[in-house]
Amino acid sequence: MGVVKCPVCDADVNVAADAMAGELLTCSDCGVELEVTALEPLTVEEAPEVQEDWGE
């Protein structure tokens, strides 16, 4: 298991040892959704908002 800092509130966020790039996590302190962007080094970013697809 790894630990990274939340980019929003700077809290520690635990990341499972078998996490994959693109996996979504939630910060337990501020509740923001985070996306694992790299495994070496382990980094996360705020996950993009899901856009509504109106059949386009």
CATH number, position 34: 2.20.28.160
pLDDT of 18: 94
Q: What is the pLDDT of residue 49?
A: 80
Whether residue 52 is contained in a domain is answered as: no
* pTM of the predicted protein model: 0.81
pLDDT of residue 1: 77
In a domain, 26, yes or no: yes
User: What is the reported pLDDT for 4?
Assistant: 96
Domain holding 31, by residue range, is 2-46
Number of domains in the chain: 1
- Sheet strands (E) in the chain: 2-5, 12-15, 24-26, 33-39, 42-46
- Whether residue 53 lies inside any domain: the answer is no
Beta strand pairing call for 24-26 and 12-15: unpaired
Q: What string of pLDDT tens digits covers the 56 residues of the chain? A: 799 999 999 999 999 999 999 999 999 999 999 999 999 999 999 998 876 666 65
